[in-house]
Amino acid sequence: MQFTLIHNEPSCRKCRETQAVLEAVVAACPDACTVRYLTVAEAQAEGLGVVLTPTVLVDGQVLCAGIVPRQAGLLRLVQGN
C-alpha cells in the first residue's frame, strides 16, 4: 500500500502532523506500506487536482483532504482489520 501526502511548501501545522502520523504508520508496518511526499505544485503538475492540504492518497485514491488522519484508522487500513 502506498500513501501519498500532498502538502504545502512550507508545510503548515496540519501537514506536519499528517506527515508524523504517516511516518508512524510506516514505521509500525514497514513491509506493508510506503509513503511518498508531494508539494501542491508537484501534485498539480501530475494532474491530481488538489484543493485542500493536507491531502492523503492511498494507492492513488483520495483518502482525506484538509484534515489530519487518525493513526489508529490508518493502521487498521494497512492491516486489513
CATH number of the domain encompassing residue 33: 3.40.30.10
How would you classify the pairing of strands 2-7 and 34-39?
A: parallel
To the nearest whole number, what is the mean pLDDT of the chain? 94
Cell of residue 30, nine digits:
514497514
Q: Are 54 and 7 in contact (CB under 8 A)?
A: yes
Rounded CA-CA distance 77/52 in Å is 22
Question: Cα dist. 45→16, 38, 40, 73, 75 in Å?
Answer: 22, 10, 9, 30, 30
Using a 10 angstrom Cβ sphere, with 0-12 exposed, 13-18 middle and 19 or more buried, the burial of residue 25 is: buried
Give the pLDDT mean for 55-69: 96
pLDDT digits (tens, 9 = 90+) for 9-43: 999 999 999 999 999 999 999 999 999 999 999 98
How many domains does the chain contain in total?
1
Asked if pLDDT for residue 50 goes beyond 90, the answer is no
Full residue range of the structural domain in which residue 74 is found = 2-79
